[in-house]
Structure 1
Amino acid sequence: MFTGLIETIGTVLSIDRRGDVTNLIIEAPEISPELSENESISVSGACLSVVKAGHTSFIAEMMGETVAVTKLGMLKPPDKVNLERALKVGDRLGGHIVLGHVEGIGVVSEISKKTQTSTVRINADASIMHYIVPKGSIAVDGVSLTVIDVTETDFTVGIIPSTLKLTTLGELEGWRTGKSRNGYNR
């Protein structure tokens, strides 16, 4: 389990597809030395297993289903990913409980920037929209957020300055303008 409070941003160094297993090699010097084999880690919201950790990077395994239904299947070096280690018993619970089981990929359709904050509208498939409720919790790219409003086809979330600065959500404008791939993990 995770909280949706991102510890650091990692950089995808390479992607190694071998049969039905895909390995993500991620540079993350802030947390890599503390990771251990078989540890769970949230990579942009998806729970993956660490198979090898070094001083500055680690390798996490994904199966075909993860590649198919998450943003992780669209990654290319040097894309950035949000990283969070799993909770330990006794840790403080900020954010909200995030399991790391991604429901789908959505598309950013609008970003309303204010002086310091942003409101983001995300279109999502009808099959998952019925799970999203106004003022409920949601993880977008692994980041714990509160839903502002919901329609049949989309929802909005607000993003505060520290979240824009400390996560990949600060790059959302690029998603909308086509500088990066449209997508998020929900």
Structure 2
Amino acid sequence: MFTGIVEELGHVVALEPGADSARLTVAGPLVTSDAVHGASIAVNGVCLTVVEHDSEQFTVDVMAETLDRSSLGALRAGDRVNLERAMAASSRFGGHIVQGHVDGTAAILTRTPGERWEVVQFSLPHALARYVVEKGSITVDGVSLTVSAVDELDALGAVDTESSGDATFSVSLIPTTLALTTLGHKEVGDTVNLEVDVLAKYVERLLTTKETSA
């Protein structure tokens, strides 16, 4: 489990594609400082398992499911990536519950600079819109963020199926996030990984099961 507090801005050393998978090597001396074989490290919000490592970099295998659901398959050597080690039981819980299981991808639609922050608007796939609420938590490329606005939802929180395109959501990025994560370097049109709040999915599942069994 992770918290969405990025520890290090690493970079891709190599992405070697296979028939139905890929092998990814990433440079990140902080997250590899205590790495062991089998350790979990989140790369742009995707939980991956270390299969090789040294003091400067680590290598992971990325399965087809992960390549299909995330933006990892588009990475190239030199690309910057957000890195976070799995949370230790004794650590402070700085963000929110993040599993490292990407639910889908989104595109950056707009970036609006402020005096000391920046408002960034993203597309929001219809299938995920019901889990995203204003002032709720969302993970974008592994970064725990607070949703500042959600658009194209009706009063009940359901997607407006007659509107064209995806719903949208916005977040406000502080200087630290802009400086220390990939979100400070992404441009309009770039793709990011999304993980919605897992608590919302469990609540929906429990309510659906209750209605079915009633």
Decide: shared fold, TM above 0.5.
yes
Structure 1: distance between partners of 2:40 and 2:30? 16
Structure 2: distance between partners of 1:17 and 1:36? 24
User: Which residue of 170, 177, 188 maps to 1:163?
Assistant: 177
* Preserved CA contact (<8 Å) 1:33 1:53: no
Runs of 4+ in 1 over 4 A off after TM superposition: none
Q: Secondary structure at the match of 1:184?
A: strand
**Structure 1: where are the runs of 5+ without partners?**
none
Give matches, 1:6-17, under 5 Å.
6-17=6-17
Give matches, 1:140-159, under 5 Å.
140-152=140-152, 153-159=167-173
Q: Quick check: which has more Rg, 1 or 2?
A: 2
Q: Deviations over 1:136-166 (max 9, x none)?
A: 0001010010001111310001100111111
**Structure 2: where are the runs of 5+ without partners?**
153-166, 195-214
* Preserved CA contact (<8 Å) 1:11 1:28: yes
Residue 183 (str. 1) matches residue 213 (str. 2) = no
Q: Which TM-score applies when normalising by structure 2?
A: 0.81
Give the partner amino acid of 2:115. T
Identity of counterpart residues, as a percentage?
Answer: 40
Alignment RMSD: 1.1
Give the partner amino acid of 2:27. E
Structure 2: distance between partners of 1:68 and 1:97? 23
Give matches, 1:41-52, under 5 Å.
41-52=41-52
Structure 2: distance between partners of 1:91 and 1:29? 20
How far has the Cα of 1:21 moved from its partner?
2.6
